[in-house]
Amino acid sequence: TQLLEQSPQFLSIQEGENLTVYCNSSSVFSSLQWYRQEPGEGPVLLVTVVTGGEVKKLKRLTFQFGDARKDSSLHITAAQPGDTGLYLCAPSNDYKLSFGAGTTVTVRA
C-alpha cells in the first residue's frame, strides 16, 4: 500500500512571504501532479513532473521532483492572497491518481 504524506497540513502566512509544501511517499512514482483547489471548485492542474531531479517553474511557483521519484516539493515565492487554496499532490500509477491529504495555504493580505 502506497503511503502518501503532505506537510504541513495547514500553513498561514503574510503576503510577500515564501512557503514550501512537501509531498512524500514510501513508493516510487512514475509521475506526479500538483493541483490547487479553491473552496467549492474542482482541482486545477498546476504541473506534472516525470523525471527524477526535475525542477519546473511556473511564475512564482517552483516544483521539484526528488531524485528517487518518491518525494516532491512546491515552493512559492512572494506569496499573494490569490495563492490561497488547497494544494494537492497526486502520484500517477496506471493512469490513476492517488491524492494526498493536501496542504491548506492561507495568504493574508
Segment (H or E) for 65:
strand 61-65
Q: How far is the CB of 68 from another protein (least distance, A)?
A: 22
User: By CB under 8 A, is residue 73 in contact with another protein?
Assistant: no
Per CB under 8 A, the list member of 28, 45, 58, 78 interacting with another protein is: 45
- Binding segment for another protein among 15-23, 55-63, 67-75, 90-98 (CB under 8 A)? 90-98
Q: Work out which of 7, 41, 67, 68 binds another protein, going by CB under 8 A.
A: 41
User: In this chain, which of 1, 3, 14, 40 binds another protein, going by CB under 8 A?
Assistant: 40
Asked if 44 interacts with another protein (CB under 8 A), we say yes
Contact region with another protein (CB under 8 A), list: 20-28, 41-49, 51-59, 72-80: 41-49
Q: How far apart are CA 32 and CA 82, in angstroms?
A: 23
Neighbours of 21 (CB within 10 A): 23
Residue whose C-alpha cell reads 493580505 in the numeric block: 109
Burial grade of 109 (CB within 10 A; 0-12, 13-18, 19 or more): exposed
Look up cell 516532491; give the residue.
Answer: 72
